[in-house]
Amino acid sequence: MVKYYLQNKLNVMLVIKDLHAKINDKEILKGINLEVKPGEVHAIMGPNGSGKSTLASVLTGRELVEVTHGSVTFNGKDVLEMPAEVRSREGIFLSFQYPVEIPGVSMVNFMKAAVNEHRKYRNLEPLSASDFLKLLRERKELVEIDSALTNRSVNEGFSGGEKKKNEIFQMAMLEPKLSILDETDSGLDIDALRVVANGVNKLKTANNATIVITHYQRLLDYIVPDFVHILYNGRIVKSSGKELALELEEKGYDWIKNGN
């Protein structure tokens, strides 16, 4: 029993300790503690303004958010010291809530540059053009993205659903160790939701982990969490198993606000 506990402790992927962060002069995160192990799915739920997106921004290294206290380690390494591109190469992936359009930059050129940067970081040779296209095709099929999306400029003219699918496609291309899905379900109809969730589930392994940030319980029917945390006013106020999401759905966020 003790041996199992120690092994598990050593096997932690992400450790967030007492994290405080502010934007301009407003403190948004007021002491977050979280541990994520390989193979786990964690859901973070909370009302608007609770700090969900800020947490995602801190983990990916967006300069607008300033960390004032605490630490974040990923596989033992200090994340807060790393610029955004290094965090990505270390294996952290964020599926953006509002993916930006980049006219003029083709999806193919973009993904090729990203994939090869990741390979370089791991001392691997860059993929040849034909090997890259082969990978592209395989991954497209896996997450059910159609060709139209990859032939264009990044996210240009994409609908909300197409943008989200494109995020999962990029996840499939980069095979991250930790995926953070920031409100991936917002703006999606039920079919798009199913495709996106399917993609995420197909990419899950015993060695990677997922943090699902969401407002609604619905996504969690498809991407089933091992742990659910409720974020309120910059702190995680409740943590439990997946039933917590159902309870929250039933009782609403007021239940949390009233100190339950």
Partner 1 sequence: MSKTATQNIKDEMVNLYLDNLDLISEGSSALMNHHREEAIQNFRILGLPNQKNEKYKYSKIESIFSYEYEKYFAPKNITFKVEDIFRCDIPELDTHLALVLNGFYLPNPNRLQTLENGVVVGSVIDAAAKYPHLFEKHYNIQAENNTDGLVALNTAFAQDGVFIYVPKGVVCTKPIQIINLLMSDENLLVQYRNLIVLEESSQANVLVCDHSLSPKRFISNVVTEIAVGANAQLEFVKMQNEHNDSNQLTHTYVKLERDSKVVSNVLSLHGGFIRNNLNMQLAGEGADAHAYGLYLTDRTQHTDNYTFIDHAVPNCTSNELYKGILDDQATGAFNGRILVRRDAQKTQAYQSNNNLLLTADAKMNTKPQLEIYADDVKCSHGATIGQIDYDALFYMRARGIGEREAKLLLMFGFAHEVVKRVSIESLRERVDDLVNKRLRGELSRCHNCPMHCC
132 lines the binding site for partner 1 (CB under 8 A): no
Q: To the nearest whole angstrom, how small is the minimum distance from the Cβ of residue 228 to partner 1? A: 26
Residues 31 and 18: beta-carbon distance below 8 Å: yes
69 lines the binding site for partner 1 (CB under 8 A): no
Among 17, 20, 62, 215, binds partner 1 (CB under 8 A): 62
- Cα–Cα distance between 45 and 242 in angstroms, integer? 11
Query: Between residue 148 and residue 167, which ones bind partner 1 under the rule CB under 8 A?
Result: 153-154
| CA nearest neighbour of 15 among 77, 82, 58 | 77
Helix boundaries (H) for 151-252: 160-174, 190-203, 219-222, 243-251
96 lines the binding site for partner 1 (CB under 8 A): yes
Helix (H, G, I), strand (E, B) or coil at 209: strand
Q: To the nearest whole angstrom, how small is the minimum distance from the Cβ of residue 197 to partner 1? A: 22
- Residue 140: its H or E element: helix 129-142
- Cα–Cα distance between 198 and 243 in angstroms, integer? 21
Stretch that binds partner 1, among 115-123, 137-145, 185-193, 224-232 (CB under 8 A): 115-123
Among 31, 38, 99, 160, binds partner 1 (CB under 8 A): 99
Positions touching partner 1 (CB under 8 A) are: 60-62, 83-85, 87-89, 94, 96, 99-100, 102-106, 109-110, 113-114, 117-118, 121, 153-154, 170, 174
